[in-house]
Structure 1
């Protein structure tokens, strides 16, 4: 039995708040809807905080949007991502972002172990608490109707929504709210859209007259109205919705740790039950919801180089060179993010320079030549292509993993690690066995007998893991954007997510968008 406790400031206050919450939400479900949802998810895997720490990464399921998670000049940003990253950092964990595709339900990802936490402005609902645990809340929002700024008739109450078609995602809490309105006898029509469309895309669709209305959280709508004109805030549908992280029911230690973190940053005061936030949360709210200058900065996505694209400031430079050499351009961008964070003037302690951190003594180019962006990218791709070709007889995952390890540690150390795998009767063509060998090369017992000596195995292990994670995430973003570009659907692309105005120029580079 899944139990959720909302310990807010005192037990009595919590009882009042939660009772009110479920009183509002309880009417939003028909018996048929509940029956349809029965047994929709598989049992959760047994994978708690200790196992997550042993792995070294914690997987965050979130939406690609300007509220939760997005790329700004190639670097990861977002309210949910930054708040969650602070939790991960406190536990010595790296964050691996998992973006659900249109067919994926984040609860499925959670229960299968493909994600550990859902953090995407996730509202606690009676349906969701049947399948997963929720942490203590860290935000409280109101659901409001989003309407065109100019309307033929005034809509000021829930009853006046009769005859209006409201468009939402089927798996959103907004859909559940609309079911409740219908249950109460309000003649509102519900239209559902693909899960890949975020709320801001629908706000934009209202502004452009493509749909009559949608629903949004009040803080998101007000932030969106800074840069999306032509919409207004309509009646409030649900008050004081609690926003929390979703965690599988088989991870009590993870939930306990998350609760401790969240309650150190958010609580409700006595006796007025007003939210009280830490400095960190106030800074993040200012950055993403309240400061107009910052909102414009993140939403505008103005190019910082002539090559700026969907993933990074150098998409337009990387893509044609990578395609010419037969390397996936998204992999190259993932390497570049790891190596230099897109800084063309970066210089490492080992003397590696530029976007791809090429070491001059291992290149036919001089150090001065390698500070040229195009030359550096071309040389970096040439080297990674050489490593990919060396492991071309392997399946793609092992091929890429070993090529990345070689790019980072060098051919000699990887060869030593593979010999250790052979000596231990393990397959040297499987990355996990080579990774184990690299870690052993930090141990005197092993590196004293290795041809190339000591290796920073943990650095290479993290390097491969981080790039593979980022590569998968980039691939998901581009595929989802491509699906939207190719879809005959009438839906426009969100200004704030991967469905951005830049998607067309990215996916069709020959198109002039100047």
Structure 2
């Protein structure tokens, strides 16, 4: 698992404000207004120019997404949205988006913004299609985003450290307690609004991107005294982190939703249709949820072991690694064959989810799902991770060499397709592409031809016959999507990995039995 928990003392830009300094702060902040709730600052000229920070949304609606076959999800690496669980993609938002995508035959590509990169800009320029990150609907965000119907309701609560020595139960009892908060969170404008109402609060405002969980960990270490969290994140965190004390509730029944471009009405309709099947209000106004949504909530927010794994990324020395339990072995083997270890890891995740003992219906064995009859190794030896990964890399390397005259992305695409379907079927698809005046050296042209090998009028004319083309096309797309996500996770891991503190990386973690 990755350790993405930057230590507060390393932060270089933290603003400390109290009521008497609030007006000065307003003049210095522009970008935070994007995440403001109802507290408007009439005289702040930054409001007039904020729209210039975001490009006009591109024209890309559900029809274009369906044609491409990929839904791009913008999210953060956090326990409530998306993370790797021993190398496997997980998270409440990720699984929920996957369910929507699957209902429309789409694959999902996860886009993780770089530090200080705007999710809205990624959305507007078409790098992503939907922001799924436990976003609270508020007035200011709605100026730049189109929100889906709500799928969750949460309360914002103050959380204090046990190091404080007492529990504040009312807002007036927060005076004199520094509250650490991320600037572009939905919590920040709520606190500013309270200050507008006359409460004397002291805020430590973090400029950098931080997850709620990482600030809660700082709080558990005693490095900060107070923060704000959504109640479902707090309740999940309290099961695995000691020293989190719940204080006063600041807001109730905030609506959580996905965010879309303002000019994607067809996607909005499809998303809302999906969400209406999973959360609705009964005649008394009480939220009702589908069995699937209840299972997801229980899995990620009500005490599952996956949450423990997220909060405890180094509990097992054998499971350390940015991407999987086999990072070091992947790096070693990839170096031997001159290939990208991240891509090799993405293939393994797609093939077996890193299960070294799995055997498919077709007889493929182990992490890289090597078929013994095409291997130089025995079936029993292929159950050994090192042998299996090395053999899979050898076979994959041969495919890459076969397409070495192409550029890197094309050679990888064709090699992956050959690894999945066999080189013969890919050769057939390239011939079909040429028959239709398409470029046989471009995967984008060959992929539709591979789909034709599912139709009798085409496959009966080929050397290798019928092929499950849709599976191979999705296989290639899924691996390339996962590769891009893995690369982003590695960048985050390298930029934000703290020095370990205590046997588990911090001292106040507790693991439920």
Same topology, TM > 0.5: yes
Instruction: Give the alignment of 1:93-242 within 5 angstroms.
Output: 93-151=106-164, 155-185=168-198, 186-195=200-209, 197-242=210-255
1:80 and 1:119 in contact (8 A); partners too: yes
d(CA) in 2 for partners of 1:371, 1:307: 18
Q: Any conservation in 1 of the 2:416–2:476 contact (CA below 8 Å)?
A: yes
Tell me by how many angstroms 1:149 deviates. Answer: 1.2
CA contact (8 A) 1:439 1:457 kept: yes
Which of 386, 409, 416 lines up with 1:397 in the alignment? 409
Contact 1:143 1:238 in 2 (8 A): yes
Q: For structure 1, list consecutive stretches of 5 or more residues without a partner in the other structure.
A: 1-23, 486-490, 503-514
- Aligned-residue CA RMSD (Å): 2.9
User: Is this contact kept in 1: 2:85–2:306, CA < 8 A?
Assistant: no
Matched, 1:442 2:451: no
How many angstroms apart in 2 are the aligned matches of 1:41 and 1:156?
40
Contact 1:29 1:176 in 2 (8 A): no
Q: Which residue of 2 aligns with 1:483?
A: 495
* Structure 2 residue 438 is matched with structure 1 residue 418: no
Counterpart pick for 2:482 among 470, 475, 481: 470
C-alpha distance in 1 between matches for 2:153 and 2:418: 48
**Secondary structure in 2 matching 1:25:** coil
Equivalent residues of 1:134, 1:245 under 8 A apart: yes
Conserved 8 A contact 1:441-1:457: yes
Which of 23, 38, 42 is the matching residue for 2:55?
Answer: 42
Shift of residue 478, structure 1, vs aligned partner? 1.1
Q: Which of 233, 236, 258 matches 2:271?
A: 258
Gaps of 5+ in 2: 1-35, 507-513
Cα separation, 2, equivalents of 1:65 and 1:493: 19
Structure 2 counterpart SS, 1:240: strand
Q: Where does residue 20 of structure 1 map in the other structure?
A: none
CA displacement, residues 322-345 of structure 1 (integer Å, 9 cap, x when unaligned): 233322222111111111222222
- 2:404 counterpart SS class: coil
Within a 5 Å distance, the mapping from 1:354-365 to structure 2 comes to: 354-365=366-377
Equivalent in the alignment of 1:340? 352
Q: Using a 3 Å threshold, how does the CA distance of structure 1 residues 294 and 114 change in structure 2: closer, same or farther?
A: closer
More displaced stretch, 371-380 vs 385-394: 385-394
**1:126 Cα deviation from its structure 2 partner:** 1.1
Partners of 2:446 and 2:251 lie apart in 1 by: 54
Match of 2:79 among 41, 66, 71: 66
- Bigger drift between 144-153 and 248-257 goes to 144-153
Higher relative contact order (CA 8 A, sep 6+): 2
In structure 2, what is the equivalent of residue 289 of structure 1? Answer: 301
Judged with a 3 Å threshold, the aligned counterparts in structure 2 of structure 1 residues 402 and 445 are, in CA distance, closer, same or farther, namely: same
**Change in 2 beyond 3 A, CA 1:164/1:299:** closer
Alpha-carbon displacement from aligned partner over 1:23-60 (angstroms, at most 9, x marks no partner)? x9312655425335233322222222233223333222
Q: Call closer, same or farther: CA 1:494–1:64 in 2, change over 3 Å.
A: farther
Change (3 A) 1:307 1:79: closer
Offset at 1:217?
A: 0.5
Partner in structure 2 of residue 431 of structure 1: 443
**Residues 400/294 of structure 1: CA separation in 2 closer, same or farther (3 Å cut):** closer
